[in-house]
């Protein structure tokens, strides 16, 4: 920034101030003589502001080379304006070498950019359609300059010497505006394409997010019944048992076995057995219950905060949902189950011990049902 300020001060004292104060130049000559160094200083200032904000990389090197090219143009343009004002400029002097050096640096910067990092501008320069405020100076500036030039030569516009120059100035202004209009249309098209690409990317991201949720659900849930699978339900139980504030009635862990599933599969088919498993899984999923399929015809149920009375109420409600409510799915939707529960931390804080104890109580209930059925048959 200090270098830019010094260059600006030097350009003002040597060229710009004297250009505006002299009475020998016309208004058009004053404007053109000042635009050379001032325009270059604006470019140099922009590069100086941008360079410190860049990270180390190819873009930084490219802008350094561009800054050097602009600096060469600043020096050459300032010398040209000064020598022209003193009527001392001669073609082929060192001033021309400064322009050649600046152009060479611009070309080298372009080659360096394309060779080392062709994605830089695409990644760091998002294209957006310019608005009216941005387009107005671009459109009006060529006509303003043309008007200044024509007003300066208004005495010779109708002559044979002035008419070609007039036509050239007007044509040049029109071409500049046409070029800016093409750039504007290109920007609009690029904006449309970027918007379309953004829409496609958003749709793709939403699709991938849905797929990820489905994959996570498949990884943690039983595909047949929709409840948690063995790994996921055991992880939930371990988290419950790891809670630090466990009271004597912290909860219950249960094992539920489907009665006569093999009989249903043999007599009504495996599809009927699948219906029965889904029905029982749905009946077990009451509010507050953590349900998972342990495998085959067994389910695991965790009831956080439940005591023995609440466990009995839970079993009764599940039984009513299975056998008490009207079920249109068919006979396979109805079925019995045997359940055994163990209570943590009163009986244990270890999941394997709780499941072993609940499994023993479940089998005891199953044996009691078998004895009751055999006793009823003998009595009959």
- pLDDT tens-digit profile, the chain (380 residues): 555 566 666 666 666 666 666 656 666 666 666 666 677 667 667 666 666 655 555 456 777 787 788 778 777 877 777 777 677 777 767 777 887 888 888 888 877 766 654 444 444 444 444 555 555 555 565 556 556 555 555 555 555 555 555 666 667 667 766 776 777 777 778 888 888 888 888 888 888 888 888 777 777 889 899 899 999 999 999 999 888 765 656 899 999 999 888 888 888 888 898 999 999 999 999 999 999 999 889 999 999 989 999 999 999 999 988 887 554 444 444 468 999 999 998 899 999 999 999 999 999 998 888 887 776 554 44
pLDDT of residue 354: 95
pLDDT of residue 243: 82
Distance CA 83, CA 95 (A): 9
Distance CA 180, CA 134 (A): 11
Q: Do residues 110 and 61 make contact, with C-beta atoms less than 8 angstroms apart?
A: no
Distance CA 251, CA 253 (A): 7
Distance CA 4, CA 2 (A): 5
pLDDT of residue 166: 64
Q: What are phi and psi of 95, to 5 degrees?
A: -60, -45
pLDDT of residue 219: 79
Distance CA 70, CA 68 (A): 5
Any idea where the domains of the chain sit in the sequence? 1-125, 130-220, 230-379
Q: Do residues 99 and 92 make contact, with C-beta atoms less than 8 angstroms apart?
A: no
Question: Which residue(s) pair with 228 in the sheet?
Answer: 221, 292
DSSP 294-360: EETTEEEEEEET--HHHHHHHHHHHHHHHHTS--TT-GGG---EEEEEEEETTT-S-HHHHHHHHHH
9-32 burial, b for 16+ CB within 10 Å, e for fewer? Answer: eebbebbbebbeeeeebeebebbb
Structure tokens at 41: 């200083």
Helix boundaries (H) for 56-161: 58-85, 94-116, 120-124, 132-152
Residue indicated by tokens 């690029």 = 190
CATH number of the structural domain 230-379 = 3.30.70.270
- Interhelix angle 58-85/2-11, rounded to 10 degrees, is 20
Distance CA 242, CA 222 (A): 25
pLDDT of residue 63: 74
Question: Which residue(s) pair with 290 in the sheet?
Answer: 302
Residue 145 CB neighbours (<10 A):
18
Distance CA 278, CA 29 (A): 92
Structure tokens at 212: 């990820």
Q: Do residues 120 and 62 make contact, with C-beta atoms less than 8 angstroms apart?
A: yes
């Amino acid at each position: 920034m200090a270098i830019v300020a010094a260059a600006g001060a030097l350009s003002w004292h040597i060229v710009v101030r004297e250009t505006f104060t002299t009475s020998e130049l016309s208004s058009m000559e004053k404007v053109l003589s000042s635009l050379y160094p001032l325009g270059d200083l604006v470019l140099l200032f922009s590069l100086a502001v941008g360079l410190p904000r860049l990270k180390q990389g190819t873009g930084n090197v490219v802008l350094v080379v561009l800054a050097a090219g602009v600096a060469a143009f600043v020096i050459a343009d300032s010398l040209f304006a000064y020598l022209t004002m003193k009527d001392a400029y001669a073609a082929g002097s060192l001033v021309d070498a400064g322009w050649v050096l600046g152009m060479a640096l611009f070309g080298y910067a372009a080659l360096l950019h394309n060779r080392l990092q062709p994605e830089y501008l695409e990644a760091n320069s998002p294209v957006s359609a310019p608005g009216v405020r941005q387009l107005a100076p671009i459109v009006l500036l060529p006509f303003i300059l043309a008007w200044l030039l024509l007003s300066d030569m208004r005495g010779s516009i109708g002559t044979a010497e002035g008419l070609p120059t007039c036509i050239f100035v007007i044509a040049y202004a029109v071409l500049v505006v046409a070029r800016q209009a093409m750039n504007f249309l290109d920007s609009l098209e690029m904006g449309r394409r970027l918007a379309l690409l953004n829409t496609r990317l958003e749709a793709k991201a939403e699709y991938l997010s849905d797929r990820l949720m489905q994959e996570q659900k498949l990884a943690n849930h039983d595909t047949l019944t929709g409840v948690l699978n063995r790994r996921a339900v055991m992880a939930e139980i371990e988290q419950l048992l790891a809670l630090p504030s466990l009271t004597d009635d912290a909860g219950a862990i249960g094992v539920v076995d489907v009665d006569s599933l093999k009989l249903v599969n043999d007599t009504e088919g495996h599809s009927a057995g699948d219906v029965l498993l889904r029905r029982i899984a749905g009946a077990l999923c009451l509010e507050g219950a953590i349900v998972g399929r342990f495998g085959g015809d067994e389910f695991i149920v965790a009831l956080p905060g439940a005591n023995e009375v609440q466990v009995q109420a839970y079993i009764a409600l599940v039984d009513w949902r299975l056998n008490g409510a009207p079920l249109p799915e068919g006979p396979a939707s109805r079925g019995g189950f045997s359940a055994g529960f163990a209570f943590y931390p009163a009986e244990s804080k270890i999941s394997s011990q709780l499941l072993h104890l609940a499994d023993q109580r479940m089998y005891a209930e199953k044996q009691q049902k078998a004895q009751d059925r055999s006793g009823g048959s003998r009595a009959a």
